[in-house]
Amino acid sequence: MYIDRLERYWIYAVAGTLGVFSAALLASVFIFGVTLPSPVGRVDPMQLDSTEFATPGLRSMGDNQYTLHVVAKMWQFDLGQAKGKPAEIHIPKGAEVTFVVTSKDVTHGFYIEHHDMNMMLLPGQIAREKATFKKPGTYHIICHEYCGSGHQNMIATIIVDA
């Protein structure tokens, strides 16, 4: 079979590119351990009252370590705040917070300003991630997955005290 010289070069170039990409993919999985995020647990979104999400809020877990359970629902984050009060928590400077979050209804987002925190919240799945707040200030938790007509108001606040 005759293959033109230029065409042959292109075949080599494409095969070489695929080879490099495949090697990078295999190296990232088997050498660097990169995996897709997976849910850390499952929960029935209709039965949250009988789970660890029955009483959302901040719990002290020891030396400046906290767990914050959050339930996302149209269109607010429930951090355990009293009815009619803003979704807001105070933590001391340097606090390490483990966020344990789920959604009660539709897909929501969980993004924290100025932090490496970006989770997708799917009803029925638990998302868990840690963040340390070294600088005092106000940090917003923002829903960045469009979730309906009140989406733009879906925001909560973490205040790191000095």
Element (H, E) at 28: helix 5-30
CA 2, CA 127: separation in Å to the nearest integer? 56
Q: What is the smallest separation between the CB atom of 140 and Cu ion, expressed in angstroms? A: 13
Number of residues that bind Cu ion (CB under 5 A): 4
CA 162, CA 156: separation in Å to the nearest integer? 19
Stretch that binds Cu ion, among 16-24, 30-38, 39-47, 141-149 (CB under 5 A): 141-149
91 binds Cu ion (CB under 5 A): no
Q: What is the smallest separation between the CB atom of 147 and Cu ion, expressed in angstroms? A: 3
CA 67, CA 97: separation in Å to the nearest integer? 6
147 binds Cu ion (CB under 5 A): yes
Quick one: which of 112, 154, 156, 160 contacts Cu ion (CB under 5 A)? 154
118 strand-pairing partners? 111
Stretch that binds Cu ion, among 53-61, 78-86, 107-115, 128-136 (CB under 5 A): 107-115
CA 19, CA 14: separation in Å to the nearest integer? 9
143 binds Cu ion (CB under 5 A): yes
Closer to Cu ion by CB, 64 or 104: give it: 104
* Residue 90: count of CB within 10 angstroms of its CB: 11
List residues binding Cu ion (CB under 5 A).
108, 143, 147, 154
